[in-house]
Structure 1
Amino acid sequence: LVLCLGVVKSQQAEVIRILDSKSIQYELIDISVGGELRDEMRSKAGDPTAVPPQLFNEDHYCGNYEMFSEAVEADTVEQFLKLA
């Protein structure tokens, strides 16, 4: 699982807290360090204006923070992250 990070720290911290609480392993990628990483994230997300946090399972786009939050509320995080 890949979590793209940027400057919205509160949303990122919430995603990390939830992933940790569910013992889901992930890799953090800080896109604020270079435009190429940001462009790659936006390309994979299919949205030229996408902002972090964005979640991916390998190269498969899972969704953004709002979509993740909805999955948490519905207790469907594993399905959202394409782990189930």
Structure 2
Amino acid sequence: MVLDSKKIEYERCDIASSEDDKKKMRELMGDAKALPPQLFNGDQYLGEYTAFEAAVENGELEKFLKLE
């Protein structure tokens, strides 16, 4: 909802339905046991959901998403 309200385009990826997507997420993170939700900008790992929430609360969403 936050991204929609700020008109930030994004792609939602359900790794439960794609073993390839789960493997890619874990490879990009460098953590073979990582669990969702995780956020990326392209292939750049940004952080997990609590870091996203903190960025929203602190008014640093664009910085967190590397949109600046």
Question: Per-residue displacement from partner, 1:34-84 (whole Å, max 9, x unpaired)?
Answer: 222111101112222221111111111111101101111111000000001
SS at match of 1:48: coil
Using structure 2 for the length normalisation, give the TM-score. 0.90
Aligned length: 68
Residue ranges of structure 2 left out of the alignment (5+ in a row): none
**Runs of 4+ more than 6 Å apart:** none
Q: Looking at both structures, which has the greater relative contact order when contacts are Cα pairs under 8 Å and sequence separation is at least 6?
A: 1
Decide which structure has greater strand share.
1
Residue ranges of structure 1 left out of the alignment (5+ in a row): 1-16
**What is the root-mean-square deviation in Å for CA atoms of aligned residues?**
1.0
- Based on CA coordinates, which of the two structures has the bigger radius of gyration? 2
Percent identity of equivalent pairs: 49
Using structure 1 for the length normalisation, give the TM-score. 0.74
